[in-house]
Copies of this chain bind each other. A is one copy, B any other.
C-alpha cells in the first residue's frame, strides 16, 4: 500500500487543473445562457438535444440517463418537469412494459430551436474562440479517445446493479 505513492507529472497536473477549470467555467456560462433564453437547466437542454438527435425524437429513460451521465432518479424528476411543461411526452414502451419512452413534442422542438443558436454561440465564444483549427482537431481526437476509454471499462455511469462479492 505504501509501495507506490502515485504521482502526476507537472504537465499532467496542469492539464488536470486547467481541464476542470474550463469545464466549470464553460458549464456556468452555458447554464446562464440556457436559463436566460429558454428557462432550461443544462441537464434539461442536454435531454432535449439528445431527443432531437434520436430517431423519432424518442429514447428510453435509461438510455437518456446514460447518455447525459445522470442518475436515474434525477432523470425521472427532470422528465416529469419537462412533461409538465409540454416539451416531452412519456409512455410505456410497447415492447417492454417496464421501459418508459420519452418523446420530444413540437413545443419541445421549438424551445430547442430557440435556445440552440445562443448555445452554439456560447460554446464558440467560450471554448473555441481562442483555439486554432489544429487545436480543435487535437482536442476532439484526445477527448474522443478518453471518452471511449471511460465508457469502456468501468461500471456504467448510473447504478451498477450487481452486488454480491463485497461485505
Of the candidates B5, B15, B128, B131, which one forms a contact with A139 in the assembled complex, judged by CB atoms under 8 Å apart? B15
Residue from B124, B137, B145, B150 in contact with A26 in the complex, judged by beta carbons closer than 8 Å: B150
Q: Are B15 and A124 in contact (CB under 8 A)?
A: no
- A12-57 with Cβ < 8 A to chain B: 12, 14-16, 18-29
Question: What residues of B have a CB within 8 angstroms of the CB of A130 in the complex?
Answer: 145-146, 148-149
- Whether A142 contacts B150 by the Cβ 8 Å rule is no
Count the copies.
2
Residue contact A139 to B142, C-beta cutoff 8 Å: yes
Contact A143–B29 (Cβ < 8 Å): no
Q: Give A114-157 interface residues, CB cut-off 8 Å to B.
A: 117, 120-121, 123-124, 126-131, 133, 135-140, 142-151, 154, 157
Given A123-B16, A139-B142, A142-B135, A147–B8 Cβ distance below 8 Å?
no
- Set of chain B residues within 8 Å of A24, measured between Cβ atoms: 68-69, 157
A144–B25 touching, CB < 8 Å: no
Among residues of B, the one whose C-beta sits closest to the C-beta of A7 is B120
Interface of chain A residues 72 through 117 with chain B (CB within 8 A): 117
Q: Contact: A25 with B151, CB < 8 Å?
A: yes
Q: Are B7 and A139 in contact, CB atoms less than 8 angstroms apart?
A: no
Of the A-B pairs whose beta carbons lie under 8 Å apart in the complex, a sample of 19, sorted by A's number, is A5-B117, A6-B124, A15-B127, A15-B143, A16-B127, A18-B140, A22-B146, A22-B150, A23-B27, A25-B69, A25-B147, A25-B151, A28-B157, A29-B150, A29-B154, A126-B146, A126-B149, A127-B146, A135-B145
